[in-house]
Amino acid sequence: MTQPLDGQLSSAELQQARSLLQGYPEAEAAVETLAQQDGDIGKSFDLLWAEEVGQLGTFGTEGRSLRGTVLKVLREEICGDEGFRAKLAEYVGNPASATALASLITYLVGLTTLPINPAIATVIVLYLLKLGLGIFCDYTEPVAEGEAPQ
């Protein structure tokens, strides 16, 4: 089963992010972590999260993933936020804009109640840009009790 935040950035996507985020030290650190992990978004997120708040793990008898829980909370905060959608659309409309990308990262840091720094937000934003916000929101939507997952 695929875990939320699994994904891979290509070397071209990493190079574009590196180019756009020059001069933003924490975002540069995130891109460097992604490059060291060969573009692996999940591993990069886990490393940056561990630096910020401690190791991710599985807790309890249900085997719930802390990463999955983080993404559940993130989903609740961003999927209905029109400001985030507008910032995302602004960047998608002009993917060469370093300012729009940095603004999107900064907006995410300020929006969420999660303990994320700009490096973690960078990884999340790059994941959302690769996957698409609509797909992320649908993919992470809780399954209603008694309903079979699709």
Per-residue pLDDT of the chain (150 residues; tens, 9 = 90+): 345 567 899 999 999 999 999 999 999 999 999 999 999 998 999 899 888 887 655 555 455 677 778 888 899 999 989 999 999 999 999 999 999 999 999 999 999 988 889 999 999 999 999 999 999 898 877 766 555 544
104 domain residue, yes or no = yes
Q: For the chain, what is the domain count?
A: 1
Position 2 scores a pLDDT of 43
Whether residue 2 is contained in a domain is answered as no
Give the integer Cα–Cα distance in Å for 115 and 48: 11
- Rounded to whole angstroms, the Cα distance separating 35 from 54 reads 21
- Please name which of 145, 126, 146 lies closest in space to residue 136, comparing C-alpha atoms: 126
- 145 inside domain: no
In a domain, 144, yes or no: no
Please state, as a whole number, how many other Cβ atoms lie within 10 Å of the Cβ of residue 4: 21
Q: How much is the pLDDT for 111?
A: 93
Q: Which residue has the tokens 């807790």?
A: 59
Give the range of the structural domain holding residue 39, as residue numbers without chain letter: 11-139
Q: Which of 109, 91, 142 is nearest to 27 (CA)?
A: 109
Task: Give the pLDDT of residue 149.
Answer: 47
Asked if residues 28 and 35 have their Cβ atoms less than 8 Å apart, the reply is no
* pLDDT, position 106: 94
Q: Say what the pLDDT of residue 61 is.
A: 45
In a 3-state reduction of DSSP, which class is residue 64?
A: strand
Reduced to 3 states (helix: H, G, I; strand: E, B; else coil), residue 83 is helix
HSE (CB half, 13 Å, CA atoms) of 98? 12
**pLDDT of res. 66:** 73
Helix axes 118-131, 82-93, angle to 10 degrees: 70
Is 6 a member of any domain?
A: no
Hunting for tokens 């999955």 — which residue is that? 68
